[in-house]
Structure 1
Amino acid sequence: MKRYGIISLLSLLVMTACQDYLDIVPDNVATIDNAFTNRNEAEKFLFTCYSYLPQESYVYENPALLGGDELWTYWPITGLSRLPSLPQQIARGNQGIVDPYLNYWDGWQAGKPLFRALRDCNIFLEKVDQVVDLDPFMKDRWVAEVTFLKAYYHFYLMRMYGPIPIVDKNIPISASKEEVRVFRRPVDEVTDYIISLIDAAAPQLPDIIQNRASELGHITKPIALAIKARILVTMASPLYNGNRDYASLTNKDGTKLFAEQESDAKWTRALQACEEAIAACDVANIKLFKFNSNLVDINERLRQEMDLRNSIAEPWNEEVIWGFTNGTGSGIQWQAMPRLNPAYSSNETTTGQLAPTLKIVENFYTRRGLPINQDRTWDYNGRYDLKTADIEEQDYLQQGYTTVALHMQREPRFYASLAFDGSLWYMQNGTWTVQAKAGQAQSRKSAFGYSITGYFPKKLVNWKFVIQAGQAISVEQYPWPVIRLADLYLLHAEAANEVHGSTDVAFEYLDRVRERAGIPKLREAWSQYARNPEFIQTKEGLREIIHQERMNELAFEGHRFWDLRRWKEASEEMNKPVYGWDIDQELAGNYYRRKLLYSQRFTAPRDYLWPISEYSMVVNPNLVQNPGW
């Protein structure tokens, strides 16, 4: 939505005061009514409703990028580094209730005020009928878009805080003090409300965007149904489905906010939503991305890498279901890519300071499509041994270069997602070598602007990114994929396994993702190469593999953070130490020693949900705090 910046003044006019409560109509009715006098003014207010969307590609706003265990940075973070410290405070277990980090409830500490967003959505829905020159078809579409946004903002808050108040209607300025002091509602009730909004909106939304020059980024039917599938899979997951850890969380009137009994029906409902969303994507011709290799002369292995990298970074490619256009583009690419060209080693535009952790590196499969500890053809115990790359690895590694066995014979997603000492980085303007030991081109040069682990998230960088002389750059911006088809396929596999177990229904879309990733289908891989071929024949075993498949396919896209929480696996994974290589060493034997960077702390059940700020608790005594805070 390129016009977001234009409407910032209007946003300020309609978002006045009243921050003490969630959804009070501000006492500036004349200003609001003026916003609906004609189509142009109403469209500005529509853009205001969009403007609250959290910027998923922005490391300052999205806790899922630097607030978990997937990407790490050096510490302490200073202003010179152009990195935020708030997400890393969450990753380090330092969240608190006085001034919570990334507070989307109140809109503090880099969090957008999503309850204010809900208030503005309600204003739009209440006032849009006043617009006299708005075509009825377009009015219905805009109403559907804002109705979806209203659902999404509720979901975003619920994913962070659990039970939340439902903001169905705005409370008038004349409301009494008790009317303003709203209660949190049970998560199942909030979920049903959210889904009812999406179900009302979806039929009025277009299957595809016809006017791509001006309307890309508007909500479509596939977006609405794909997000519905994500919501229902989330709410069927252990954190929300019969979580006894929250059995004691009740309102002051005794209303239980979490159901204590697990419901299989939630998984059935989620599976149906996934099927409905996939059908909508088929109608819209959304499909897994394949790189057009006719554009360049590359071999099959490199084309496979471009299939994977460009499913993220190719603007508006056919796999993107919802591309987020506000605040995307070059920022995260600068943070992800090191100074590749030695001719411009002093250029500070790129820093490569978003550093994948060694844990994530080890999570990727072998070339057989198996976890590294399950592949009987791969030397798991010798993974840290020094080894020299040979001609067999020529498309991925520098021949004759000494690295570790961990970097060899891995799946294509490993090389498409990561760069590291001894790797190759293909770009439109050439293939660059990455050499990151002390004194080499991509090593640490100063107190900031380097990878603390020795790894770089290659997949986040568009292949047309070019560093030129001085500070000049040529960067291909792309809309951040809030959800893409591979994500939806894996949500389907997860729900299908929970409903039907290890059957063909669970394997169908999972194998489509694996096929595009260049690895064998699941049954083939496990039957031919696994140490324990029977592992995937049970629901529990297949569940574990589907979880790992999501980690590998969606690495660095901001999903692991939320997935670990909804699966209730964060208390295990985020209490493991964070490791990287000893990056300040010159010799391979010294460089390739695991170095402890931080011992993470995750307290369960407290850290699964955000705290509500003390301020909000004082303003509204009817609110109850999340457990442990």
Structure 2
Amino acid sequence: MITKNNTTKISQIMAALAFMALTLLPTACSDLLDQPSANALSADQFWRSEGDATTALMGAYSAVRQCFDRDYYFDGQGEFVYHNFNATASTNPYNGGSYNPSGYGSNFDTYFRYLYGAVIRTNYVVVNVEKMLPTVPASSVANLESIIGEARLLRALVYFRLISMWGDVPYFENVPTGIGENNAVFALMSRTPIATIKGKILEDLTYAYDKLPEKKPAAGRGSKPAALALRGKVQLFWGSWNKFGWPELSTFTPSSSEATAAYTAAADDFRKVINDFGLTLYRGGDPGQIDALGKADILPNYFYLFQPAASNDVSNTEFIMSFNHGTTGTGQGEELMRDFGTRTNQFAQGGTKPRFALADRYQSVTTGDFATPLIKGNPAPGSDANNTILPPSTPNHALNPQSYANRDYRMKATMMWNFEMILGSASLKSTGMSPFIYGNNGQTIKINSATANYVTVNADNNQTGYLFRKFIRNYAGQDRSDGDFSWPVIRLADVYLMYAEATNEVSGPQGDAIALVNKVRFRGNLPPLAGAKTADYASFFAAIEQERIVELVAEGQRSFDLRRWRAIERAWDPTGTNVGTDTRDTKNANSMVYFRNATPLTYQQCYIFRIPPGERDKNPNLTQNTPWL
């Protein structure tokens, strides 16, 4: 809950960012860097022109972006990504959050506060630009309404995140005078029922859909497809909560009729996104080419989708909604290299890594089904006197590179196993290709050569036996915290899968939905789903979930999927015997056991987050979610 003290903190953060934050989108608004801060001027001085409104909108983008551009951290709450440290600064919304599979629900007080700071910034734009409309020339109205539409799109996104995590939360559409002054009203607000907020979110998105252009004017800007896709996603989640229940939210009563209506509405919105705007998967969804095992000069198209050039290309219509970033010297860079890379990649920290379980999710391009599960175990032999590293010869061994042959192309584009290569860099210059060999860090070796010609990846922070390739730039010249990647909030592939899910919930497997799932599979060079995979609701749901896992890994989706499907127990205690899951690395070591002998309360506290106690201390009208009483 926003209180006077907390709102003042938010105001101070935003004021400190005034010149930089109000000019977030360098590709669209680099000329705004010289604009004055909206907060530094009185209303009668500032809110006079379309330029003023655009400047304030950029401030809203900045406030919202920082709450969504490290969503990959949330994947650490799922089974397939290990996130072992929080590298964000104390002024970042994600700081202090827990991104482990359990015990995370009480650690997002900072995130809660920053989300409300973003609400205030979006409200600030909506309220003040609406006041401008009666006084501006007729020629300015459409553009100002579009600006309002973008702000309402952002506000909807923020409130959707709030209700997805906390359920009932305080809802308001106005702003405190001065942002931090005279705001006692916020210190007394009660939690608004989730159904009411959902209705308000849909109103915002409907307005945005009506007023925004069909094509985004620049990378990171709003458009009709973005509003429609987000509206569909809100309805999809509403359908899930009503179908699967949300008992931890004591004020919510699920309804099967509400679920059906929501799934139907979601499918309608997704269908329009797919059919009405000419959107296509990146490079037509073609898988592209793949290099031999142990080489990385030629990578599949899926890899290049997550490079800055593709993410910032407005002709790449797969990125329906995204937040873009600056680059070196702007102070607005993303930190994907820092979080996904290794010491070999600009001395990155590598806090985000694939778990062993992810490797077994990539299917065979030959059969289109799962391969034999990989074998964990110590390598044999190790290295000879010449430091020539030799892989274990056991077939299907996790440390045997041949075990990864003929897999879904997205596997090589996403992760690395022993002897896979990646480009190294230091001081913004290339250091050449380096092989990853688990446990062998920064050593000079030879591979099929009498000459020691490689230095292994220095992955000294690795505990799983795998590294990510996805999101790591394949060129030098930018530092680990200076990336200009446009972080995807909604991609077209995600819309395909959400449409398939929504229609499956209403009518079971449908031909058009099956075709869309097969389109997503094709980018991994996989054959179409076998008939048994689409024979009934349960089989097709499993196929959709499988594609969501490998297509959207490390994009912040899995944790939210598990909660809305009531699937945490299924994911972490598949035998139903309360033994949990023992996670190990490729050498069958580094055991981390989750949910062993877990109490019901342990699971309940994963499904809904704690209302920050500090906010409740300041506001006697804030109630607490049931598992946290």
With normalisation by structure 1, the TM-score equals 0.74
| Structure-1 residue corresponding to 2:200 | 193
For 1:564 and 1:461, the matched residues in 2 are separated by: 27
* Letter matched to residue 502 of structure 2: A
* Letter matched to residue 303 of structure 2: R
* Letter matched to residue 383 of structure 1: I
Does residue 140 of structure 2 align to residue 135 of structure 1?
yes
Conservation of the 8 A alpha-carbon contact between 1:426 and 1:432? yes
| Structure-2 residue corresponding to 1:269 | 265
| Structure-2 residue corresponding to 1:9 | 18
Among 351, 361, 364, the residue aligned to 1:363: 361
Gaps of 5+ in 1: 14-27, 251-256, 341-346, 373-377, 389-397, 528-533, 582-590
For 1:78 and 1:416, the matched residues in 2 are separated by: 26
- State the secondary structure of the residue aligned to 2:247: helix
For 1:83 and 1:439, the matched residues in 2 are separated by: 33
Among 124, 143, 154, the residue aligned to 2:128: 124
Conservation of the 8 A alpha-carbon contact between 1:242 and 1:260? no
Conservation of the 8 A alpha-carbon contact between 2:336 and 2:471? yes
With normalisation by structure 2, the TM-score equals 0.74
For 1:147 and 1:491, the matched residues in 2 are separated by: 23
What pairs with 1:454-465 in structure 2 (closer than 5 Å)? 454-465=465-476
Does residue 282 of structure 2 align to residue 288 of structure 1?
yes
Does residue 306 of structure 2 align to residue 312 of structure 1?
yes
Among 546, 550, 553, the residue aligned to 2:551: 553
| Structure-2 residue corresponding to 1:599 | 594
Q: 1:349 to 1:128 in 2, by over 3 A?
A: farther
Conservation of the 8 A alpha-carbon contact between 1:579 and 1:598? yes
Conservation of the 8 A alpha-carbon contact between 1:202 and 1:224? yes
Among 151, 156, 159, the residue aligned to 1:154: 159
* Letter matched to residue 74 of structure 2: A
Q: 1:230 to 1:302 in 2, by over 3 A?
A: farther
* Letter matched to residue 195 of structure 2: D
TM superposition shift of 1:87: 3.5
TM superposition shift of 1:233: 1.3
- State the secondary structure of the residue aligned to 1:624: coil
For 1:143 and 1:104, the matched residues in 2 are separated by: 25
For 1:266 and 1:113, the matched residues in 2 are separated by: 29
* Letter matched to residue 49 of structure 2: N
For 2:223 and 2:583, the matched residues in 1 are separated by: 42
TM superposition shift of 1:369: 6.1
TM superposition shift of 1:352: 3.2
* Letter matched to residue 569 of structure 1: A
TM superposition shift of 1:58: 4.9
The size of the alignment, in residue pairs, is: 545
Conservation of the 8 A alpha-carbon contact between 2:417 and 2:436? yes
TM superposition shift of 1:463: 2.4
For 2:588 and 2:186, the matched residues in 1 are separated by: 61
| Structure-2 residue corresponding to 1:416 | 413
Any idea what the Cα deviations from partners look like across 1:442-501, whole Å, max 9, x if unmatched?
8796xx95222121111111322469xxxx789863211111111111111111211221
What pairs with 1:505-520 in structure 2 (closer than 5 Å)? 505-520=512-527
For 1:159 and 1:620, the matched residues in 2 are separated by: 22
Q: 1:476 to 1:118 in 2, by over 3 A?
A: closer
Q: 1:598 to 1:128 in 2, by over 3 A?
A: farther
Does residue 504 of structure 2 align to residue 497 of structure 1?
yes
Conservation of the 8 A alpha-carbon contact between 1:286 and 1:320? no
Worse overlay, 330-339 or 112-121: 112-121
Does residue 98 of structure 2 align to residue 93 of structure 1?
no
Among 213, 226, 241, the residue aligned to 2:229: 226
Q: 1:368 to 1:181 in 2, by over 3 A?
A: farther
* Letter matched to residue 512 of structure 1: K
Q: 1:275 to 1:538 in 2, by over 3 A?
A: same
TM superposition shift of 1:547: 0.9
For 1:244 and 1:290, the matched residues in 2 are separated by: 39
Coordinate RMSD, CA, aligned: 4.4
Among 76, 81, 93, the residue aligned to 1:71: 81
Any idea what the Cα deviations from partners look like across 1:509-558, whole Å, max 9, x if unmatched?
101111122000012xxx5xxxxxx4541201211221111011111111
TM superposition shift of 1:275: 0.4
Conservation of the 8 A alpha-carbon contact between 2:300 and 2:409? no
Any idea what the Cα deviations from partners look like across 1:245-286, whole Å, max 9, x if unmatched?
24x723xxxxxx44354632221111111101212441xx44
**Percentage of pairs with the same residue:** 20
TM superposition shift of 1:62: 6.2
* Letter matched to residue 612 of structure 1: I
For 2:184 and 2:219, the matched residues in 1 are separated by: 43
Any idea what the Cα deviations from partners look like across 1:598-625, whole Å, max 9, x if unmatched?
5357823232122111232243333321
Q: 1:276 to 1:188 in 2, by over 3 A?
A: farther
Among 417, 434, 437, the residue aligned to 2:436: 434
Conservation of the 8 A alpha-carbon contact between 1:69 and 1:578? no
- State the secondary structure of the residue aligned to 1:183: coil
Does residue 210 of structure 2 align to residue 203 of structure 1?
yes
TM superposition shift of 1:46: 1.6
- State the secondary structure of the residue aligned to 2:583: strand
Any idea what the Cα deviations from partners look like across 1:390-418, whole Å, max 9, x if unmatched?
xxxxxxxx997437534424221111110
Any idea what the Cα deviations from partners look like across 1:426-448, whole Å, max 9, x if unmatched?
79977542222335548796xx9
Conservation of the 8 A alpha-carbon contact between 1:217 and 1:325? yes
Does residue 621 of structure 2 align to residue 627 of structure 1?
no
Conservation of the 8 A alpha-carbon contact between 1:105 and 1:115? no
Does residue 341 of structure 2 align to residue 337 of structure 1?
yes
TM superposition shift of 1:194: 1.1
Q: 1:73 to 1:245 in 2, by over 3 A?
A: closer
Among 34, 37, 50, the residue aligned to 1:39: 50
Q: 1:449 to 1:309 in 2, by over 3 A?
A: same
* Letter matched to residue 254 of structure 2: A
For 2:116 and 2:102, the matched residues in 1 are separated by: 22
Q: 1:625 to 1:151 in 2, by over 3 A?
A: same
| Structure-2 residue corresponding to 1:402 | 392
| Structure-1 residue corresponding to 2:169 | 164
Q: 1:551 to 1:259 in 2, by over 3 A?
A: same
